[in-house]
Structure 1
Amino acid sequence: MTGGPSIAATMAAEILALQPEAVSDDVLDKAALCLMDYLGAAYEARDLPWSRQARFRHRAVDQGAASIGLGRLTAPQDAAFANAVAAHGLVREDMHVGSVAHLGVVVWPALLADLAQLGRPVGGRKLLAAAVAGYEAGAVLGTALMTAELARLFRPTGLIGPFAAVAALCHFRGLTAEQTTSALSLAVNCAAGLNQWPASGGSDMYFHTGFAARNALVCADLAESGAFATREIIEGEAGLFRAFARQEPRRLPALFAGGFEIVKVFHKQAPACNFAQTPSQAALAVRLKVPGTSANVASVHIEATRAALLYPGCDASGPFGTMLAAKMSIQFGVAAAVARGSIGAGNYADLEDPEIARLIASTTLAENPELTVAYPQRQPAAVTLVLQDGTRIREALDDVIAAPAAMVRGRFKAAADEALGPGRAADLTAFIDALASSADALPLNALQLPRIQQ
């Protein structure tokens, strides 16, 4: 690509051009729901091993950013890292299908940490609009970059997350176009995260989001302080497209040209990999048609997209040494839904459940080309159960069924009540609900913590 401004410079101008007043109320409402989804997951996972590991050596300070797991204020970069890891800890984060990325668990921890250190009042609408800009930039770049083959090797959230978070930070801080271009370029230099972890049961995945959120703050600081970074970092000879995707770069669609990408983000019903969502939902639907218990099921056949089968850890029949391995596996998710008659967190409590193991052993998983052509616009799947008497029952879903807003809010309330106490959780809920009209978003920092622990 030659001539004209670079992709990073073009995107910087588009990010900064977004006026908070131009973001409609329904889009702001979606951003606020994404914020609740992020916080709810972080509260619920705050004491899991990887969440505790992420805050190792973090220290409480009198002035800083809220660290959800620590329950205190800490250094903003530490808070961003720990909160991003905690929010990713359930594998129930929000999902943008086109970019194959979990944007919320990088954008929100970086933004909220920055809110605490900005040093001046910023309206809630500005905070939400900055998040919208971050989701947009990450979604557009990720959709252009990611393929099923690339996602098999590199973690999409690790590649795209720093860019999305930096876009949000630059909009939030009101940086110049030159500073924003450099910050975005530096963020591309932070693209990282290999997808080898499913093969060995490693917990690397949880920390990808922490690295991305913390690095985003560093990139924004460097650019704001005068660091000048490569303009052609996306399309250059050794830029993002050629280095990672091994493909010729192309001009990206203008940001916000076709609406707002954040509205395409869906919230998971099951605490499991994106690619296990629709198969598990189809399995639950067909299970409800089976009389009696799952013992009546002789075998299971799953039809999914090529992208689902290629993603590391998704086509896995066990044994499952970790809960993460089970949450990645389509076969485990389907078998557990059939055995338990649900797709909730309890499905992953016993990795050696004999009935789940029996069903997995009798399960086949295959690509259905008709489903593949629908991806990524839709994520279809189908599950067929063969009963002991030979009866075949099939259920196909045209797309994943997202968690409705009421479910997201309910999960947030339950987790926040437990972490903060009902009174404080109610205050936080009310503040988020009114965030778009708030003159100053800063109280959100303190409201994330229990009242007595500030």
Structure 2
Amino acid sequence: MTTTQQQRAHTSPTAAEQLARFAAGLRFDDLPPEVVQRAKQLILDLVGVALAARDLPASEAVRAVVRSMGGTAESTLWGSGEKLPACNAALANGTLAHGLDYDDTQLPAQAHLSASVVPTAVASAEATDADGRAAIAACVAGWEVGLRIGAAAPGRFVDGGFHPTAICGTFASATIAGVLRGLDEGQLANALGLALSQASGTMAFVDGATWSKKMHPGWAAHSGCIAALLAQQGFTGPRTAFEGRFGLYNTHICSKDYDLETLVAGLGTTWEMLRISMKPYPACHFIHSFMDAALYLKETHGLEPAAIDSIHCKITEQAIAIVCEPHAEKLRPQDDYAAKFSLPFSVATALVQGRGGLAEFSDAAVHDRAVLDLASKVTYSVDPESTFPRYYPGWVIVRMRDGAVYERREPIHRAAVERPLSEAEVIAKYRDCVGASLDDERAEALAERVLNLERQSSLAAVVGLMAAAVGA
């Protein structure tokens, strides 16, 4: 049966059609106050971590590429001020957003979705002169679609070697770009079908210090924008993009272990984006609770690194291949990005430095002799009581040279729904992130506009402040 025949044959709406109907019909006034507030905090957090990554070599490389392509001046490159076609601006800004691995994550989707959602929304809103209310509603539509795609098969994309951020982000971005360009539900369903043919990005980055992971949200944003533009011009895509025999789940996870009901249940009433967790540390989320546990032990018991005999971590089995292996590489990460995916380095950093900010995950920090010596004492085993995939748990046991043993378990990661960051903590992280890019006056003005985004008649003032970076 051809795709066209399949589209004509079904009598009830497919998952793509149901998601498209929801997204096309969602308006700002439909959003509960807590959803609006959360959306603005997530946008502010994402803008901060993106600007913090402005001067990374990978960021400079992607800017050079999109700059060389030229094209219509529609949307702004963050931290630069240059304007390019919306799809290319989304590519560059999405890559910045994930450059430090400091952007938020959601379980059970296991995806860094805001790094695609926000760049797509800002670029598309600029290109269409949409106001802040429309931008917020589009972001929420994108989050809800993308997160449900991951939640319908929790952990299964990673098991199959795919990065959920790249996969789910493509569909989220197609939704956002389509909504802001005024696509009807039929066109949006086509855009989701076209996104299927572009949804890509593997977990190969865990095997070495490469930049490929950084581009996953950017490429997802670019692909989603292209899917929406094609659909706007009448290009069709398979309506069975998710449940079809060659749909997403039957090709990307190669099993029947997915739940289509989760994909569409509670649309407009249950808000998955409220479960997004911002990152307190610029490192893989699997590591965060271990750092919290290590910091707790250090502060509570006054642990001195030189007096530590061994450190044992009990960790979620799925995380071992990401942050514990290959063991030799994790003990001595090659650069700052590899350090973010090293459990031994991160736990040792917490115990030696007593903190875990941007400076502790810099290229200079990976050569710290005291940290590397302590990292060599870290061992691990599977956590039999792991709370994953609901949470990112951590369990640290420190044995001292004098025989004393200290233990701390964190079953629920900080910034989870049950342990949310306060708005003051969100703003403090944002200020730390933009300190090297914006002067205090511009930083405060940008935060004020983002936290009142629904009052903005356009995003021109917002992106203007983001473009006016120090030394840009």
In the alignment, what sits opposite 1:67?
77
1:376 aligned counterpart, secondary structure? coil
- Does 2:378 match 1:369? no
Cα drift, residue 289 of structure 1:
2.9
Cα drift, residue 315 of structure 1:
6.7
- Does 2:369 match 1:358? no
Bigger Cα displacement from structure 2, 423-432 vs 385-394: 423-432
Cα drift, residue 352 of structure 1:
2.8
- Does 2:307 match 1:282? no
Check 1:453–1:352 CA distance in 2 against 1; reply closer, same or farther (3 A cut). Answer: closer
Cα drift, residue 314 of structure 1:
6.2
Check 1:364–1:414 CA distance in 2 against 1; reply closer, same or farther (3 A cut). Answer: closer
Check 1:411–1:149 CA distance in 2 against 1; reply closer, same or farther (3 A cut). Answer: closer
What is the alpha-carbon distance in structure 1 between the residues aligned to residue 281 and residue 43 of structure 2? 18
- Matched-pair contact (CA < 8 Å) for 1:380–1:400: yes
Check 1:291–1:441 CA distance in 2 against 1; reply closer, same or farther (3 A cut). Answer: closer
Check 1:312–1:204 CA distance in 2 against 1; reply closer, same or farther (3 A cut). Answer: farther
RMSD: 2.4
Q: Percent identity?
A: 26
Amino acid at match of 1:426: E
TM-score by length of 1: 0.92
Of 221, 224, 227, the match for 1:219 = 227
1:384 aligned counterpart, secondary structure? strand
What is the alpha-carbon distance in structure 2 between the residues aligned to residue 346 and residue 362 of structure 1? 23
Cα drift, residue 109 of structure 1:
0.7
What is the alpha-carbon distance in structure 2 between the residues aligned to residue 90 and residue 310 of structure 1? 20
- Does 2:417 match 1:409? no
Question: 1:100-119 alignment to 2 at 5 Å?
Answer: 100-118=110-128
1:218 aligned counterpart, secondary structure? helix
In the alignment, what sits opposite 1:181?
189
- Does 2:391 match 1:378? yes
Amino acid at match of 1:285: Y
- Matched-pair contact (CA < 8 Å) for 2:333–2:342: no
Cα drift, residue 183 of structure 1:
0.5
- Matched-pair contact (CA < 8 Å) for 1:123–1:441: yes
Amino acid at match of 1:144: A
TM-score by length of 2: 0.89
What is the alpha-carbon distance in structure 1 between the residues aligned to residue 471 and residue 83 of structure 2? 9
1:386 aligned counterpart, secondary structure? strand
- Does 2:89 match 1:79? yes
- Matched-pair contact (CA < 8 Å) for 1:81–1:210: yes
Of 398, 406, 419, the match for 2:437 = 419
1:139-198 CA distance string (max 9 Å, x none) = 111111242673461111111111111122223333111100010111122111111122
- Matched-pair contact (CA < 8 Å) for 1:284–1:343: no
1:154 aligned counterpart, secondary structure? coil
2:314 aligned counterpart, secondary structure? strand
- Does 2:327 match 1:319? no
Runs of at least 5 residues in structure 1 that lack an aligned partner in the other structure: none
In the alignment, what sits opposite 2:447?
429
Question: 1:433-448 alignment to 2 at 5 Å?
Answer: 433-448=451-466
What is the alpha-carbon distance in structure 1 between the residues aligned to residue 29 and residue 106 of structure 2? 24
What is the alpha-carbon distance in structure 2 between the residues aligned to residue 292 and residue 240 of structure 1? 49
Of 107, 131, 146, the match for 1:97 = 107
In the alignment, what sits opposite 2:21?
13
Check 1:62–1:18 CA distance in 2 against 1; reply closer, same or farther (3 A cut). Answer: closer
Bigger Cα displacement from structure 2, 421-430 vs 24-33: 421-430
- Matched-pair contact (CA < 8 Å) for 1:327–1:333: yes
In the alignment, what sits opposite 1:450?
468
Bigger Cα displacement from structure 2, 100-109 vs 197-206: 197-206
What is the alpha-carbon distance in structure 2 between the residues aligned to residue 40 and residue 310 of structure 1? 29
Check 1:286–1:451 CA distance in 2 against 1; reply closer, same or farther (3 A cut). Answer: closer
Cα drift, residue 35 of structure 1:
0.8
- Does 2:162 match 1:154? yes
Runs of at least 5 residues in structure 2 that lack an aligned partner in the other structure: 1-5, 416-420
What is the alpha-carbon distance in structure 2 between the residues aligned to residue 451 and residue 345 of structure 1? 19
What is the alpha-carbon distance in structure 2 between the residues aligned to residue 421 and residue 292 of structure 1? 38
Question: 1:224-263 alignment to 2 at 5 Å?
Answer: 224-248=232-256, 250-253=259-262, 254-256=265-267, 259-263=270-274
Amino acid at match of 2:276: V
